[in-house]
């Protein structure tokens, strides 16, 4: 049974590979690493776009517009929940989850049974066997990857038992030797989840543990007691005991118990190591995850950031092209006839004087020969500025975040009512995102 559960978890993890890869790309774009997309060269090799540009003499330029848009919409979310007392204790967690929601289209939290507070679960470590509804309803198996240090492992799973402590230390020593040779402590401020594998820990001196929740059915007896009207579930093999209880009730003149066979489902959690050893088991009527996947049409997930990546990509290329043209254009180059240099001022001294704001260049003019000339080349003839303006306008239109929503000062001809109307219109474009996430928070409250 345990091997089957672990195999199903592995299959669920592998089925999410495309979603994780897309999320990683969107996350990189959001935080400024926007030249890592692969490109296939004519010789069949694959390079990142940034490496390709550098190899061809270009300097990749990044003008990160996505980050500001995400921050603006997150600010709109914070404003919308500012007066909600029920979210006061979780607003920071929810705002971070909302940013994840904008980036990947996934909002996943784990509700702690002790205090009911949510904890953010990274989609990079989460797996689920099927996605047929925005809230994950219909899934039969889900869970996440953990990397435990020895101290955290003993604290979490020993339950104060000395024998279990020894067992956990033994398991840790045996498996820590299998840690990936590339695993190391993540550097402060850097992601440790960009290249996770299912089996091996991504961090040095840690043990990979799978938290696997599976929905399981069992045959039960639903028992009705007419004396107090209660309904209880008992194991299917308890029928003999129930009949004996009814014989006692019959002798006392009491109403007999009534029962019928039924199927009851429950969620079973297994904390397992890579070799299938179960470290702990928990049974609950429901799993602890609160999920929202957007927009979930035919099982597809499409985030806010996905909608504007193409515009961001084009903006970067246009900026790089413009930078390349500027670097190759003549900017103040002086054409100085060779036969006009004077003996008192050689070429090196002329170049130095030209750089000085009050420099004087002495030369001997030749009849009929033009004097020194300064060359300036215009670089706007190819229309890069117009194309860049078009992409920025498309970015505002596609995202729904315009100048009014960002709080920028309106022009002198914009009335207060017009400015407010623009803000309301832009908020209307974002209402689907904001209302979907608020509905998720309401579902989480209700459990």
- Residues 369-386 pLDDT 10s: 777 887 776 665 567 888
Phi first, then psi, for residue 398 (nearest 5°) are -70, -40
Tens digit of each residue's pLDDT (9 = 90 or more) over 263-305: 889 999 999 999 999 999 999 999 999 999 998 888 899 999 9
Secondary structure (DSSP) of 13-47 = HHHTHHHHHHHHHHHHHHTT--S--EEE-TTS-EE
- pLDDT score of 216: 93
Query: Which of the residues in the chain have pLDDT under 50?
Result: none
User: Could you give the CA distance from residue 10 to residue 89 in angstroms, rounded to a whole number?
Assistant: 35
CA 198 to chain centre: 18
**Three-state secondary structure of 375-389:** EECCCCCCCHHHHHH
User: Could you give the CA distance from residue 360 to residue 357 in angstroms, rounded to a whole number?
Assistant: 9
- pLDDT score of 338: 76
Q: Which helix (H) or strand (E) holds 281?
A: strand 278-284
Tens digit of each residue's pLDDT (9 = 90 or more) over 350-372: 888 878 887 877 777 777 777 78
- pLDDT score of 365: 77
- pLDDT score of 350: 80
User: Could you give the CA distance from residue 203 to residue 211 in angstroms, rounded to a whole number?
Assistant: 17
- pLDDT score of 60: 95
Within 10 angstroms of residue 292's Cβ, the number of other Cβ atoms is 22
- pLDDT score of 366: 75
- pLDDT score of 115: 87
Give every CB contact of residue 439 below 8 A, 6+ residues apart in sequence.
292
User: Could you give the CA distance from residue 443 to residue 291 in angstroms, rounded to a whole number?
Assistant: 9
- pLDDT score of 380: 59
Secondary structure (DSSP) of 331-391 = EEEEE--GGGBBTTB-HHHHHHHHHSTT----B---TTS---EEEE----TT-HHHHHHHH
Domain ranges of the chain: 2-197+288-307, 311-399
- pLDDT score of 413: 66
- Joined tokens for residue 60: 């990749």
- pLDDT score of 245: 93
């Amino acid at each position: 049974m345990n091997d089957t559960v672990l195999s199903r978890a592995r299959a669920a993890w592998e089925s999410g590979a495309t979603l994780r890869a897309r999320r990683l790309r969107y996350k990189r774009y959001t935080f400024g690493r926007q030249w890592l997309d692969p490109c296939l060269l004519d010789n069949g090799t694959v390079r990142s776009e940034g490496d390709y540009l550098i190899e061809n003499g270009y300097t990749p330029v990044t003008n990160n517009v996505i980050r500001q848009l995400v921050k603006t919409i997150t600010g709109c979310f914070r404003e919308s929940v500012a007066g909600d007392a029920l979210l006061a204790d979780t607003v920071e967690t929810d705002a971070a989850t909302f940013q994840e929601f904008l980036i990947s289209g996934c909002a996943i939290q784990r509700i702690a049974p002790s205090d009911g507070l949510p904890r953010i679960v990274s989609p990079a470590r989460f797996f689920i066997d099927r996605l047929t509804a925005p809230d994950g309803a219909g899934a039969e198996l889900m869970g996440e990857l953990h990397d435990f240090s020895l101290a955290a492992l003993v604290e979490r799973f020993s339950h104060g038992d000395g024998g279990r402590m020894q067992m956990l230390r033994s398991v840790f020593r045996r498996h820590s030797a299998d840690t990936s040779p590339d695993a190391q402590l993540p550097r402060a401020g850097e992601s440790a989840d960009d290249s996770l594998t299912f089996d091996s820990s991504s961090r040095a001196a840690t043990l990979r543990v799978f938290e696997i929740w599976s929905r399981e059915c069992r045959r039960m007896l639903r028992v009705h007691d007419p004396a107090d009207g209660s309904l209880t579930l008992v194991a299917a093999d308890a029928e003999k005991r129930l009949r004996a209880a009814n014989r006692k009730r019959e002798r006392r003149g009491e109403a007999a118990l009534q029962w019928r066979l039924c199927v009851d489902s429950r969620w079973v959690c297994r904390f397992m190591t890579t070799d299938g050893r179960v470290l702990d088991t928990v049974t609950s009527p429901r799993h602890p995850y609160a999920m929202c996947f957007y927009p979930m049409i035919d099982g597809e997930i499409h985030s806010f950031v996905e909608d504007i990546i193409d515009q961001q990509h084009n903006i970067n290329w246009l900026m790089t092209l413009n930078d390349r043209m500027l670097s190759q254009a003549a900017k103040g180059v002086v054409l100085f006839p060779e036969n006009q240099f004077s003996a008192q001022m050689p070429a090196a001294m002329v170049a130095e004087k030209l750089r000085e704001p009050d420099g004087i260049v002495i030369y001997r003019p030749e009849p009929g020969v033009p004097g020194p000339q300064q060359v300036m080349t215009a670089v706007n003839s190819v229309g890069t500025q117009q194309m860049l303006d078009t992409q920025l306008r498309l970015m505002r239109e596609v995202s729904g975040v315009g100048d009014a929503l960002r709080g920028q000062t309106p022009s002198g001809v914009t009335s207060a009512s017009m400015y407010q109307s623009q803000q309301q219109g832009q908020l209307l474009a974002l209402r689907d995102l904001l209302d979907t996430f608020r509905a998720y928070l309401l579902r989480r409250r209700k459990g």
